[in-house]
Structure 1
């Protein structure tokens, strides 16, 4: 009987082992930072070309096609589904990463966290001030002050991975910590400044759903003896319900992703080993959802957000006449590195902290330039800042694309030169 059952299960396997191996291989590829950055740029470029081609009408018809269930306030365009729905997966991973940093990473100790935290704050305040200074006098234009405050983790780390084979590991850690704190600030800005009305009942129900989600996540081993790899089968429907309720409450639905990510345990106690801790559910979930976010959610969001009709040379020139464009470009390309470097210099002097011995101040300027790549979250804030009918809506997106390209190019040149220097030093130390 056992042998027959074993043969039966083998025959009825939906996917052969070769397919499972291939799926795992593709998943590992999509977890690589360079691949995520390339997909992001590729889909954004396709959208931009399509939106300015003779077939532009088909692109905008696709982006604006509505699907969903109206009574639950879930009848949205495909572009809105990408911004509110798919991007929640990205923010769920941001929530996981933030919690891991606070529980087991560089942010758990104030002494190591204070420098990148202050640097991130400087990288938010200075660009916002520069933007407001450029657009001074216009209430509508000032509403986009938060657009240049965000850093695109995936894009920035992808650029660093491409050019930084010999850069000090401390530089990558600093960039990651900085970007994580930057995202936390951006999430707070979206929740506080870009929520117009709040419906109390859906919000209360959303918090209840998140609380249930968190209780099961924290005690998943006690619920039906769940394995970490199977816990998502129960948590996923609850998470989707929480997302829908947050969306119905009037708060941007991506906030639900962050809150759900915060509830996932980073560590769990080993049975029979006292307080010894091992990787928790957060690591399992990140491993599972990273390919979905990197390979699908974020690129699709970029595809629907980056498609801007430039209107030829005249339209492009008129965009640069818009103070919103000038403010965003200057704030991201100059304000970000200025704010990050200045804030880092000030905090290290005030608290008499030295940079990592392997780093130089010019490396910090390079990190500041990388932080000027404000792609994903900046595009989201641009969607929230200006009405679709406003000319600033498309101009802001053009500015983000231009600034991100300039910042990426500048960082590549500067850090590429630093990488060659570190490579020569490594070779000389090896005697080669």
Structure 2
């Protein structure tokens, strides 16, 4: 089940490289960095951030641009965070969809029960620590940071997988448990982003465009060809649609759905989510990173394969656009995010995982010990990508956002904590035989 090792390495290297460049740049020339990130590519009335929001984010010098009365600005930052990151979330949604819908899906049946409980603990724990400490620090701090409660709930699936292999070994059942937890965490994170972090005033009527796009492309290019091929093993209509049209109808529907999300006030980076379930998919999945997954040729997996390398590049620019914070910005939100991840995540995973495994008698995978739950929680405390993304939408541009982003970046220390915890708790590494 360990597909795309190169993807994880490339993902890690490019994302970290972008983040490091941003950190160095911002601490040398903060204004220059922000001006680069908010470079206006197109003043228009169709796509981009609201002009007033962009004007504030750009800061000094924004007045030199003649926007001609345009209502929106397509900046470099918006292009990466709100448009291109939609492909990253589409890949995450693909894994979640297969884990839920397929007969052998990882999040179906009793085998997923304990990881799902652990996932819930890995979200409740960080929220409780984050908000509890903020409340303890006083009403002024609490009011300033409360909106960021979801930042420490995230788990970076690729980095966690990488560290999980180092701590447990590739063949340890805890690695699969960790992946199930991370997939479920992704699903919860997508829901949280959609419900609690709208990008503007809500206009739900625009979501009908997303609904009609998803239903239309599914009926015309998925259900109808299969319906016409009933009883014919050659499947000429489905084959013609696949060979001649490929993913293009779904890409067009995705563009409409994305626009519907932008206009509805929901974060447009989630705009492809309604389209992912409409793509024809295999009747089974081998699980994220499973080597056999690369041999599945259904359109859903084919589209993921096509997106793999572009998304690696997108994540480089995501790190570049979002990790540029000054070290001087470290303050209360930084420590709250870190406490939520480094304390709340391991304790939450351990508490809820133990509750499910023993009092509720759902059990643990063969070869796992209860102490492994704590180590898994330490590994899952690496929030990085999604934590950084949530921080960028939870707070307006400014000191609080920068401090929260620094907490997301420093969550890399969870990797060291996980390795140390593994040594102390005497985790027995198991390699693939």
| Fold equivalence (TM over 0.5) | yes
Q: Distance in 2 between matches of 1:123 and 1:398?
A: 21
Task: Specify the alignment match of 1:149 in structure 2.
Answer: 153
Aligned length: 378
- Asked whether the 8 Å contact 2:250–2:279 carries over to 1, the reply is no
Secondary structure, in 3 states, of the residue corresponding to 1:198?
A: coil
* CA RMSD in angstroms, aligned pairs only: 2.7
Task: Specify the alignment match of 1:353 in structure 2.
Answer: 362
Task: Specify the alignment match of 2:288 in structure 1.
Answer: none
1:373 aligned to which of 358, 382, 387: 382
Q: Distance in 2 between matches of 1:365 and 1:122?
A: 11
- Deviation string for 1:85-129 (max 9, x for gaps)? 121101101111011111334445321111111111111111001
Output aligned runs, 1:199-218, within 5 Å: 199-216=203-220, 218=222
2:417 aligned to which of 410, 416, 427: 410
Q: Distance in 2 between matches of 1:305 and 1:229?
A: 39
Task: Specify the alignment match of 1:120 in structure 2.
Answer: 119
Structure 1: gaps spanning 5 or more residues: 1-27, 270-277
- Asked whether the 8 Å contact 1:152–1:377 carries over to 2, the reply is yes
Q: Aligned-pair distance for 1:133?
A: 0.7
Secondary structure, in 3 states, of the residue corresponding to 1:68?
A: strand
Q: Distance in 2 between matches of 1:156 and 1:347?
A: 22
- Asked whether the 8 Å contact 1:135–1:141 carries over to 2, the reply is yes
Task: Specify the alignment match of 1:326 in structure 2.
Answer: 335
Output aligned runs, 1:23-34, within 5 Å: 31-34=6-9
Task: Specify the alignment match of 2:45 in structure 1.
Answer: 71
User: Normalization by structure 2: what TM-score?
Assistant: 0.80
Task: Specify the alignment match of 1:236 in structure 2.
Answer: 251
Output aligned runs, 1:263-302, within 5 Å: 263-267=278-282, 280-293=298-311, 295-302=312-319
Q: Distance in 1 between matches of 2:168 and 2:390?
A: 33
Task: Specify the alignment match of 1:86 in structure 2.
Answer: 84
Q: Distance in 2 between matches of 1:169 and 1:285?
A: 30
- Deviation string for 1:240-291 (max 9, x for gaps)? 222122112111012222222232233259xxxxxxxx86322212211122
Task: Specify the alignment match of 1:166 in structure 2.
Answer: 169
Q: Which has the larger radius of gyration?
A: 1
Q: Distance in 1 between matches of 2:120 and 2:131?
A: 17
1:279–1:121 Cα change, 3 Å = farther
1:198–1:30 Cα change, 3 Å = farther
Secondary structure, in 3 states, of the residue corresponding to 1:307?
A: coil
1:359–1:230 Cα change, 3 Å = farther
- Asked whether the 8 Å contact 1:87–1:297 carries over to 2, the reply is yes
- Asked whether the 8 Å contact 1:341–1:364 carries over to 2, the reply is yes
Q: Distance in 1 between matches of 2:422 and 2:244?
A: 40
1:63–1:208 Cα change, 3 Å = same
- Asked whether the 8 Å contact 1:216–1:223 carries over to 2, the reply is no
Q: Aligned-pair distance for 1:218?
A: 2.7
Q: Distance in 2 between matches of 1:235 and 1:350?
A: 46
Structure 2: gaps spanning 5 or more residues: 49-72, 227-236, 285-295
Is residue 175 of structure 1 aligned with residue 178 of structure 2? yes
